[in-house]
Chain A
Amino acid sequence: MSPKRISRRQFLGRSIGAASAGLALPMIVPRRVLGGPGQTAPSEQITCGFIGVGGRGSSLMKEHSEAPWQTLAVCDLDKNHLAAAVKRVGAGCQGYHDFREVLDRKDIDVVYIATPPHWHALVSIAAAQAGKDVYCEKPMTKFIHEGRAVVEAMKRYGRVFQIGTGGRLGAARMRKLFASGLLGKPILIRMNRPRYNWKVREWSGQIYPRIETPPAELDYDFWLGPAPYKPYHRHRVHGSFRGYWDYDGGGFSDMGAHYFDPVQYFIGADDSGPVEIEAVAPWPPHPDAVGMWGSITYKFPGDITIKCASGEWGKDDDPADAPFIEGPKGKVWNERKADPPDLFDKLKDFPDPPRLLRWEEALRTRKEAGGNAEVSHRVATILHLGNLAIRLGRKLHWDPAKEQFIGDEEANRYVNIPMRAPWHL
């Protein structure tokens, strides 16, 4: 099953139409996009800007260093990161301090966002407003409402979005298994260590950090951006920011974005979410630093329970050889080991799920990418809900349609967290 091909001109017309929604939006189509003498064929070139070129951003640049990708701009608030990135790309690449200057360039098609997560939504939305397609690193957001705002912005401006993880692309067989009903109900999914390494200790924050002077090469106030002002300490930034609630949500957010992407897809919850969430963790938590947790249990509609165990706190009740997925009619350890043993063989009688589009394919066809904004927002929501269960220390009841907690006004304050001015969604 191959997607219907449309011309570059057709898709531009469609995207402008979608973005305008009855409003004449300013949009300039660069000549190289339309092709012509002396221009690289549009189908062979996608021009890129990279926003955040530290560890992960550098890797993204390397992965997109050859045709059809062409890097025209790199951006970072750390002068050292920026200089290294400009040098790496070489001629034809301009360095920027402020991401808005990258977005102002009319000759850039897509932006790659590899900033810390507290910037992801704002930059994604600004990129959509500037007419750029967006590849955003995971986790997609820092809090739940940001994700909904990104989804709406992508629709409003007719842009393509892809999250920086693609686990679901290899999960078609598992999706087929769930859709088949061969496992029966209820179903328990175990996302336990060691199969799942949640990196709890690795991405924990520090509770006694002293004030340090920000290094001259880093614009710390801009780096904080929408996050509350906190005095600088080196552990808050590069490489360890995940340990602080203001910027991310620890190893659970980091690794969970990879782990839940295929699981949410194969259980068929891409437009839904859990309805009940409970965590076992030391409590109360530190207000600033991400800490330890033992397990997080979700109940999804359709009689599906997902249990995540970190193996880092308390004792996990599940035996080491417990199946990954367990239903009354079947158990699955992996795609090569199941009970009954012929469980996967029986799937040949069931239809395949629709094929998911990869990033580049989605860009060219102007169709939804496999890791589009809606499904990525739903994955991020699962992660935020788990972290909120840890932080609030109580069982949470979630309405996935309204994206609000039920009967818990104060918990709802964590759904849409105020941003430091002048930043706002």
Chain B
Amino acid sequence: MKRGILVAVGIFFSATWTAFRPCAAATADVGQLLQNMTTETAEVRMKAFKEIVALGSDGVVEVTRRLIEPQTGEAKKTEPATIARGKGRKNVERGKVEWGSAESARIEDAGARFALHGMAVSFSRPGAEKERARFVKALAGVLKSDRPAAVKKFLIEQLQIAGREDAVPALAACLNDEALAESARQALEANRTRAAVDALRKALPKAKGSLRAGIINSLGIRGDKQAVEALLADAKSDDEPVRCAALAALGRIGDDRARPVIEGALNSDSTAVKRAATEGKLLLEKK
């Protein structure tokens, strides 16, 4: 089994290395380090990831440069994740895919996604705080750049895994960007720090429509008692999804101040509002 794993991991990291081939000195270092990760042992892989991050932000940023927006058009052939890792690189090497073409960029992008996600997961494990902080700092920096929204959304998803309080300012800033707001809201909901809840609450006054409903959901899930006053107003909103979200969130938070507004909504003409109020009421009673 060890041999099989080594071969497969080797194929993957060779493919990833290919993605870094045409870049500058830092990239060459990154590529070399990725090649050195051809191993089945978590400790050795972790060491290589640490060395990438030790290159400073440049190491991680270099990987993000390989990300591209999803491409349109009919794929020649799609491959399942089980076997696609090695084939991309082989196709480039054999000349089946022209280097620098859209197809090779797509292969580079896939390699970068594997690597960045791997780092997010690796550095979020207990005992890797130093590396995690550097990784988060690098991604937060890229969020301030002019990279495409689709690329930034992928980075936000990695911050949803690895980000702690240090990711909050960058994610909070994304709440003001229509293309990124929903992803950022979800990343902040997952972020178990007080700062993340504060950021969500602060964004509520300006948020509208679906984003507003989403922030209310997040505040309810996080049990934010400081949001109750604002949610009481939203529980009477003309925007039905917002109103329903607020009724359920108030029940989940479990603050007695919500009782009159929730009970009032039980008699609504809207089935959706009535059900949200019933849910809120039952959750409130449970507290």
Task: Give A residues with C-beta under 8 Å from B.
Answer: 21-23, 25-26, 100, 104, 126, 129-130, 156, 200-201, 204-212, 228-229, 231, 233, 235, 243, 280, 282-292, 294, 312-317, 391-394, 407-410, 412-413, 416-422, 424-425
Contact, CB under 8 Å: B282 / A392: no
**Is B213 at the interface (CB under 8 A from chain A)?**
yes
Contact, CB under 8 Å: A286 / B70: no
Chain B minimum-CB-distance residue to A291: B81
What are the residues of chain A within 8 A of B89 when measuring CB–CB?
none
Contact, CB under 8 Å: B117 / A285: yes
**Is B35 at the interface (CB under 8 A from chain A)?**
no
What are the residues of chain A within 8 A of B282 when measuring CB–CB?
21, 23, 156
Chain A minimum-CB-distance residue to B16: A284
Contact, CB under 8 Å: A104 / B271: yes
Contact, CB under 8 Å: A207 / B183: no
Contact, CB under 8 Å: A421 / B185: yes
- Other A-B contacts than A210-B73, A284-B117, 7 sampled, CB-CB below 8 A, are A21-B285, A207-B110, A228-B157, A228-B183, A286-B81, A418-B185, A424-B220
Contact, CB under 8 Å: B121 / A392: yes
What are the residues of chain B within 8 A of A417 when measuring CB–CB?
190
Contact, CB under 8 Å: B75 / A209: yes
Contact, CB under 8 Å: B211 / A291: no
Chain B minimum-CB-distance residue to A288: B113
B94-134, CB under 8 A of A: which get 1 and which 0?
Answer: 00000000000011001001110110011011100000000
The contact sample of 10 A-B pairs, CB cut-off 8 A, is A23-B278, A204-B82, A205-B81, A208-B78, A208-B110, A287-B154, A314-B2, A410-B162, A413-B190, A422-B245
B139-179, CB under 8 A of A: which get 1 and which 0?
Answer: 00000000000000010011011100000000000000000
What are the residues of chain B within 8 A of A129 when measuring CB–CB?
275, 278-279
Which one of A100, A290, A294 lies within 8 Å of B81 (CB-CB)?
A290
What are the residues of chain B within 8 A of A25 when measuring CB–CB?
278
Chain B minimum-CB-distance residue to A24: B266
Which one of B81, B272, B278 lies within 8 Å of A289 (CB-CB)?
B81
Q: Which 7 A-B pairs have the closest CB atoms?
A: A284-B118, A421-B214, A314-B1, A410-B124, A418-B186, A291-B81, A424-B217
Contact A393-B122, Cβ < 8 Å, known A286-B114, A294-B1:
yes
**Is B4 at the interface (CB under 8 A from chain A)?**
yes
- Determine how close the nearest CB of chain A comes to the CB of B256; give it in whole angstroms: 16
What are the residues of chain B within 8 A of A290 when measuring CB–CB?
81
Q: Give A418 to B1 CA distance when docked, in angstroms.
A: 37
What are the residues of chain A within 8 A of B211 when measuring CB–CB?
421
Most chain A CB within 10 A, of B5, B42, B122, B282, is at B282
**Is B9 at the interface (CB under 8 A from chain A)?**
yes
Q: Give A339 to B267 CA distance when docked, in angstroms.
A: 66
Task: Give B residues with C-beta under 8 Å from A.
Answer: 1-2, 4-5, 8-9, 12, 42, 45, 70-75, 78-82, 84-85, 88, 106-107, 110, 113-115, 117-118, 121-122, 124-126, 154, 157-158, 160-162, 182-183, 185-187, 189-190, 192, 210-211, 213-214, 217-218, 220-221, 241, 244-245, 248, 271-272, 274-275, 278-279, 281-282, 285
Contact, CB under 8 Å: B9 / A283: yes
What are the residues of chain B within 8 A of A229 when measuring CB–CB?
182
- Determine how close the nearest CB of chain B comes to the CB of A294; give it in whole angstroms: 7
Contact, CB under 8 Å: A280 / B117: no
Which one of B75, B80, B117, B125 lies within 8 Å of A408 (CB-CB)?
B125
Q: Give A422 to B237 CA distance when docked, in angstroms.
A: 15
Contact A422-B217, Cβ < 8 Å, known A287-B117, A313-B4:
yes
What are the residues of chain A within 8 A of B5 when measuring CB–CB?
280, 282, 294, 313-314
Q: Give A243 to B73 CA distance when docked, in angstroms.
A: 21
Contact, CB under 8 Å: B82 / A419: no
Contact, CB under 8 Å: A282 / B88: no
Contact, CB under 8 Å: A420 / B117: no
Q: Give A156 to B279 CA distance when docked, in angstroms.
A: 9
What are the residues of chain A within 8 A of B115 when measuring CB–CB?
284
Chain A minimum-CB-distance residue to B218: A418
- Determine how close the nearest CB of chain A comes to the CB of B190; give it in whole angstroms: 5
Contact, CB under 8 Å: A292 / B81: yes
Contact, CB under 8 Å: A207 / B214: no
Contact, CB under 8 Å: B75 / A208: yes
Contact A208-B190, Cβ < 8 Å, known A285-B117, A314-B1, A421-B182:
no
Contact, CB under 8 Å: B78 / A206: yes
Q: Give A216 to B94 CA distance when docked, in angstroms.
A: 39
What are the residues of chain B within 8 A of A413 when measuring CB–CB?
160-161, 190, 192
